[in-house]
Chain A
Amino acid sequence: MNVHAIQAIYRFEMARTRRTLMQSIISPVISTSLYFVVFGAAIGSRIQHVEGISYGAFIVPGLIMLSLLTQSISNASFGIYFPKFTGTIYELLSAPVSYLEIVISYVGAAATKSIILGLIILATAALFVPLQILHPLWMLLFLLLTAVTFSLVGFIIGIWADGFEKLQLVPLLIVTPLTFLGGSFYSIDMLPPIWQKVTLFNPVVYLISGFRWSFYGIADVSVGISLAMTVLFMATSLAIVGWIFKTGYRLKT
């Protein structure tokens, strides 16, 4: 294991975060705070409690997931796309590093960033709404698994993208809609029966449901299924990453 290389890439990526602190940390915090102000305070006060929890508190896990997904994807995709764009990837490809080491360092850095971000948002949320976390260890586990899984997804997108437009395409057209429709702002019980069935095809439902359970002990689907689905997404992403490196797809000609 080339530990020095993993450290070097990880440090480099974390340094990039520090340089772009505004964009990486502060702007997601501000936009999330806006959600709390609008949904939590302004509109939320007129919405009845959801399953015994105030609406403002109910949406916290969903909002953290929303940021976690989009930021994991954007951090990881940019991290690997940019060297491809500038050409500095030559150094990575010519270095004595294994594919596993590349994935560990890039995905590890992206996941670290989004977990930090998630925790910051959680702290911010605590300022606006009364929070309780029934299962903190499960909460951290879901946070970790989701961050890693979607950093892997971001890594895949970063390798697949051959322009900045494609880099934005998947987060914008797929991830954000799925998150909004995945129960960030509502409980699935609120949907008409047919949509309750349809929504089960949305993978994000399982992530949010499991994560919300770790807070309040309420869930749309059982925790076991949530966990199993999260692990399944992770395994799928890993398999795709494995295939990319095996074939050199979009990396080596």
Chain B
Amino acid sequence: MPSIISVNDLSKTYASGLQALKNINLEIRRGEIFALLGPNGAGKTTLIGIICGIVKPTVGKILVDGHDIVSEYRAARSLIGLVPQELTTDAFESVWGTVSFSRGLFGKKANPAHLEKVLKDLSLWNRRDSKIITLSGGMKRRLLIAKALSHEPQILFLDEPTAGVDVELRRDMWRLVRSLRESGVTIILTTHYIDEAEEMADRVGVISKGEIILVEQKAELMRKLGRKQLTLQLHEPLKAIPEALTGHRLELSADGSELIYTYDTQGERPGIAALLDDLDKAGIRFKDLQTTQSSLEDIFVSLVREEK
């Protein structure tokens, strides 16, 4: 599939000397939901800012649907909708006024029917005449999304879209993002909430200290780096792990009633059969067992820790 955004050898050094991005290469595929994960200050917002034209790149080249973001900025930018992280809005403008403004700013002629649909999708229609200052935080967040969607972008950037948003609204937003994807919009989101990426993304990129350290299909990432744990609830507690079992990667719970076995799902032979065999030989019986798979969050934390 051809890339809709192509970032080549991008670096950014701020005037303060801070190197925010180091030689970034990234391809965003048409129609996907791409989640960019990274700790605070990793460079997520800088990267988005450069692609959208708010921050100047130091070196590098970016193509948006084949258009260079510097020499063909008009074509590139008109494809992009940006929802910034901060709730930055005009206080005294009305909801309808501000979405109409955004549409015009992006060079589209007025289309009240489209704006009505966007506002209805975001449950803002009955507040269309309200001044922005009277809206709640969650409504302002949705308004920023409405502004970004007002000009029918092909690409939508969501910078921390659900920061400070309640659970119900988060679900609504996820639904909206999915329906946008179905209509063919490419979505790039940054988030602190790993479950958000896990829930929505097709692919995940991890950025740390200005470098992309990994880009992977979410499912692939989970499979590759995911660890599984097998927990055995024992009939009788153990004081220590018996000699016969020390060859396995086992841990004993604090009260001695559970044995925990950790294994890589990518391993050819997880060794469960051998473990159970050895347990039987040692005369250890268990009454129940369960397995758990590590989440993207665990994976992310371990990746970023390795970087440090």
Interface residues of A (CB under 8 A from B): 2, 4-5, 7-9, 11-12, 15-16, 19, 86-88, 90-98, 248, 252-253
Contact = CB atoms under 8 A, between A and B. Distances in A.
Contact of B89 (A11, A88, A97): A88
B247 interface: no
A12 B93 contact: yes
A96 B76 CA distance: 8
A12 B74 CA distance: 21
Nearest to A16: B92
A86 B88 contact: yes
The 10 closest A-B pairs by CB, nearest first: A8-B104, A87-B88, A96-B77, A94-B52, A96-B74, A96-B78, A2-B107, A4-B104, A95-B105, A93-B54
B77 A94 contact: yes
A87 B76 CA distance: 22
Contacts of B82: 90-91, 94
Interface SS of chain B: loop
B39 to A, nearest CB: 21
Query: What range describes how many residues of B lie at the interface?
Result: 35 or more
A87 B82 CA distance: 13
A97 B54 CA distance: 12
A94 B54 contact: yes
Given A90-B82, A91-B105, A91-B147, A248 B56 contact: yes
A91 B107 CA distance: 13
Interface string B65-96: 00000000111111010101010111111000
Interface of B: 14-15, 52-56, 73-78, 80, 82, 84, 86, 88-93, 97, 100-109, 147
Contacts of A11: 101, 104
A9 B101 CA distance: 7
A9 B98 CA distance: 11
Contacts of A94: 52-54, 77, 80, 82
A78 to B, nearest CB: 13
B281 to A, nearest CB: 66
Given A90-B84, A96-B77, A5 B106 contact: yes
Contacts of B88: 86-88, 90
Given A2-B107, A94-B77, A12 B55 contact: no
B74 A2 contact: yes
A12 B101 contact: yes
A179 B93 CA distance: 35
A17 B292 CA distance: 62
Contacts of B106: 4-5, 95-96
A253 B105 contact: no
A13 to B, nearest CB: 10
Contacts of A7: 104
A252 B57 CA distance: 10
A91 B147 CA distance: 9
Contact of B15 (A4, A9, A98, A253): A253
A94 B102 CA distance: 11
Given A5-B105, A86-B89, A86-B91, 13 more contacts: A2-B74, A8-B103, A8-B105, A86-B90, A87-B84, A88-B88, A91-B102, A91-B147, A93-B53, A96-B77, A97-B105, A98-B74, A248-B56
B44 to A, nearest CB: 15
